[in-house]
Amino acid sequence: MEITALDGEAEKMVTDCNNIKAKVLTAALPYIQKYTGRTVVIKYGGNAMIHQELKKAVMSDIILLSLVGIHVVLVHGGGPEISGMLKKLDIPSRFIDGLRYTDEETAEVVQMVLAGKTNKDLVSLIGQLGGKAIGLCGIDGGMIKAKKIQGDYGYVGEITEINTEPITQAIQSGYIPVIATVGTDCQGQTYNINADTAAAEIAAALKAENIITLTDIRGLMRDISNENSLIPVVKIDEVETLINDGIISGGMIPKVKSLKKSVLSGVEKAVMIDGRIVHSILIEMFSDEGVGTMFIK
């Protein structure tokens, strides 16, 4: 059959596309080899949880990491869904220093939404996309032990102990652990645990290779109104100065302090990335450039 100019152009486009795919896969190979058999903790929240297409992209990234032999642990919050349920129940939402004030009534809603709806929705989506996940919360197996945090925050918990056994058993059985961040004390009191804090503590306890926090901005910004003011690398001894200068403020404080703690606890790499970017997890994991802000010693 005679090949026309158009057919030849189309054939070249297909060849170029295949070459690009091959280069991408080849470039990713060293990173896959580096992380295979290692543990990566991903803290999931923000816009990436709200928009369905972003949610699918994040879950697809996590499934891919799992399929190439990386032990992914997904730790999630659920702030927007909790706020939505509280509004339906006519319970006010209040935040202090970036933490949700949690009275007894709010604590019940947090447990119901996080461990019930949000957690199981994520497990279901991973299953729909071809992955294997199991939903856990900090209460299961005594995974997250906590006590009341100092200050007037209500039933917001400070983690006293992480029992990694439920997590490692899930991984060994071929499942992606999906963890909702509620915990209990010895008397059975339920506490709302900040998801960033929980992710950092879990990463440290698992001796994870990497912790990735998804946010709604490019990373840590010197000027929150200017997306070009991204700070690509932060040394952890600079964190307190950045807080005092107001560059790290509000809900960013627990995020950054948690990443700092994970680095001090021996986690090899701690990064904050933009969850609004489709496949930002893969870009971060499988390239030298990465995205967002990296925290180092």
pLDDT band at 19 (very low <50, low <70, confident <90, very high): low
Give the whole-angstrom CA distance, residue 169 versus residue 41.
16
Burial class (CB in 10 A: 0-12, 13-18, 19+), 87: exposed
Averaged pLDDT, 223-232: 85
**Average pLDDT value over all residues in the chain:** 87
Residue 286: the pLDDT is: 86
- Look up residue 275 and give its two tokens: 């969850």
Percent with pLDDT over 70 in the chain: 90
Averaged pLDDT, 190-194: 92
How big is the chain, counted in residues? 297
pLDDT band at 226 (very low <50, low <70, confident <90, very high): confident
Contact at 8 Å (CB) between 292 and 274?
A: yes
Rounded to two decimals, what is the model's pTM?
0.87
pLDDT band at 49 (very low <50, low <70, confident <90, very high): confident
Averaged pLDDT, 94-107: 85
DSSP 6-58: HHHHHHHHHHHHHHHHHHHHHHHHHHHHHHTT-EEEEEE-THHHHSHHHHHHH
Considering 119-123, 227-231, 233-237, the range whose residues carry the highest mean pLDDT is 119-123
Residue 3: the pLDDT is: 46
100 — phi, psi (to 5°)?
-75, 125
Residue 1: the pLDDT is: 44
25 — phi, psi (to 5°)?
-65, -40
215 — phi, psi (to 5°)?
-130, 180
Percent with pLDDT over 90 in the chain: 52
Residue 59: the pLDDT is: 94
- CA 105 → CA 83, 120, 229, distances in Å? 13, 22, 40
DSSP secondary structure code for residue 159 in this structure: E
Backbone Cα Rg of the chain: 21
pLDDT band at 9 (very low <50, low <70, confident <90, very high): low
